[in-house]
Amino acid sequence: MDNTSRLFFALWPDDETRQTLTRLGRSISAKEFKWVQPHNLHVTLVFLGQVDKDAELLIKQSVAGITAQPFSLTFDSLSYWSKPKILCLTCLQPAPEAAVLLAAALAAAVANCGLQTDTRPYTPHITLARHARYLSDVKIEPIVWRAEAFCLIESCSEPDGIRYQVIQQWPFIKPTANPDQ
């Protein structure tokens, strides 16, 4: 297994968004939950699983041509998902089309490289805690996540737990002003 890495594509927060999410997590009093460390907070786009180095290189090449415009996700609901036992932030409004199209393009690129991914409809969420057993009764202020790039992330096992590490980042195309206007 030395030649493989546990990988996924994700949106990675800027420092301000990460601090806002960290403050929210600290405001929820549920000591028995296993809180996600602030440096690991992210929005998964496509989970890949164990990938060998050759497939990783092929996947990086395959997604290099994917383009997207920056978009925003508004996380305005605290949710409890009982099967994975997670407390997460979700969006009351459907995900913007740009986010759904990006997740679909990444999944298609990965599938073209011979890997299978989750076929359920894309649902953006931010996992705040694992091993949760209930929904904490907390009113939250909406958190706007401005997405301007997608990243390939590696899940690294360390003595004190898992740490997510950005392997590569692909910036979105910034809209240009039309000089004719």
Over the stretch 1-31, which tens digit does the pLDDT of each residue have? Answer: 468 999 999 999 999 999 999 988 888 876 6
In single-letter form, the type of residue at position 20 comes to T
- Tell me if 181 is assigned to some domain: no
Please report whether residue 178 resides in a domain: no
Block means of pLDDT (10 residues each) for the chain, 181 residues, are 88 95 83 87 96 95 93 94 91 93 96 89 93 79 95 93 95 70 50
Instruction: Decide if 177 is inside a domain.
Output: no
Which residues, other chains included, contact 85 with Cβ-Cβ below 8 Å and sequence gap of 6+?
A: 130, 131, 132, 133
Q: How many domains does the chain have?
A: 1
What single letter denotes the amino acid at residue 123? Answer: T
4 to 8, 39, 83, 114, 154: CA distances (angstroms): 13, 23, 27, 15, 10
Domain-embedded: residue 176: no
Q: Is 50 inside a domain boundary?
A: yes
Alpha carbon 116 to its chain centroid, in Å, reads: 18
Instruction: Write the CATH number for 108.
Output: 3.90.1140.10
Find the length of the chain: 181
Say if 12 falls within a structural domain: yes
Strands 43-52 and 77-81: unpaired
Q: Which of 5, 17, 42, 68 is catalytic?
A: 42
Q: Is 39 a catalytic residue?
A: no
In a domain, 25, yes or no: yes
The Cα 30–Cα 35 span in angstroms is 9
Q: Can you tell me whether residue 171 is helix, strand or coil?
A: strand
- 131 among known catalytic residues: no
- The boundaries of the domain holding residue 91 are 4-171
Catalytic residue from among 45, 87, 125, 150: 125
**Residue 118 maps to a domain:** yes
